[in-house]
Structures are given as structure tokens and as C-alpha cells.
Copies of this chain bind each other. A is one copy, B any other.
Amino acid sequence: MEAFSDGVLAIIITIMVLEMKAPHGADFADLRPVLPAFLSYVLSFIYIGIYWNNHHHMLQTTRHVNGTILWANLHLLFWLSLVPFVTAWSGENHFAPAPMALYGVVLLAAAIAYTILQTLIKKEHGDHSLLAEAVGKDLKGKISMLLYAVAIPSAFITPWIPGAIYVLVALFWLVPDKRIENKIKTAED
């Protein structure tokens, strides 16, 4: 399951760069229209990176997998596979309200899908499993989902609000999930 997920995430992260078409002119000024696409690429790269990082840590604590978990994983990959589309749409339209809102919808759906996957893995491994103890009540995950839910409608006030929220949540997660890392280290000792 990890090899397949790694493959899909590796492809998602890389094909987004294909949306940044090389401009026809040969001056630095010709790069200016590519800038929004570049910025949304950077943000999406970081989000996919965060998911890969957390997914990787979560699977390290996973001993057995069943068919339901495989589908919950595919469900997560489905939402993440839409990231290149919403990245391209926001980038091309210079972060207009509707694309920014849809970006949030995809992030929210991916976060929900991740929570479902995490819950199923926790259930399969019991309440005292490494993952269950490391993640706890998953406050970080819940706050992120709440923030996405705020970001989506606020895009129609001004797209700067969801923009700021998406950057903030990304920074917030950029710190690797030490919770699982520490639990694994303790378990090994």
C-alpha cells in the first residue's frame, strides 16, 4: 500500500510542474505571468509534502491492513489527485474567489479523508496502539479542518483570507509530526 501511495504522491507532486508552461519570450519579464502558477505550485508542493510526510509516519505504525483501509487510502489519494487541477485553476486565474474556495474544498475533503483513514487504522490496531497514543484527540487535524471550513466562504469576501489561511495551516504542519516520531522512538527503547 505504501509503494502505491508513494508512487501516486510522487506523480501528483511532479505533474503539477507541467502546468507551469515555459513562456514564449526570453526575458525575465516574460516570467511574470507564470508567477501566480509558480506560487500556487509552491503551496501545493508543500501540502502534498505534508501529506506524504504524515502518511509515511502513520504507515510506520501500521502492522496490518484490510480491504476497507485500502479503499480509505484510495479515497484520500482521490482528493489529493485533484490538487493539480485546483492548483492550475487558481494559478491561471490569479487567485480569484471561486478557485480559492474550490482549493479549500479539496483541502477539506482531503483532511476528512485522512481522518477517516487514521480512524480506521487506529481501530484495527486498538486503543493502546502507537498511533492512537501518538495522535490522541488529533486537535491539530480538527483545527485545520475548521480553518478550511472558514476559508471556503470567506473567499467571496476577499481571496486574501483563504490565501492567508492556507499558508498558515501549511506552516503549522510543516513541522514534522514529532508525536508519532517520539512514540516510535520510545517504543523502540
Residues of chain A touching chain B, judged by Cβ–Cβ distance below 8 Å, are 1-4, 6-15, 17-20, 22-28, 30-31, 42, 45, 49, 52-53, 56, 66-68, 70-71, 74, 77-78, 81-82, 84-85, 88-89, 92-93, 96-99, 102, 174-178, 181
Contacts and interface: CB of A to CB of B under 8 A. Distances in A.
Contacts of A17: 15, 81-82, 84-85
A51 to B, nearest CB: 11
Nearest to A77: B13
Contacts of A10: 4, 7-8, 10-11
**A-B pairs with lowest CB-CB distance, top 5:** A67-B176, A7-B10, A26-B96, A26-B93, A22-B88
A4 B52 contact: yes
Nearest to A30: B98
A5 to B, nearest CB: 8
Contact of A12 (B14, B26, B31, B53): B14
A30 B14 CA distance: 26
Most central of A26, A49, A96, A102 by chain B CB within 10 Å: A26
B56 A70 contact: yes
Given A4-B52, A178-B67, A85 B11 contact: no
Nearest to A29: B98
Contact of A14 (B15, B26, B181): B15
B18 A9 contact: no
Contacts of A19: 22
Contacts of A3: 2-3, 6
Contact of A66 (B2, B7, B68, B176): B176
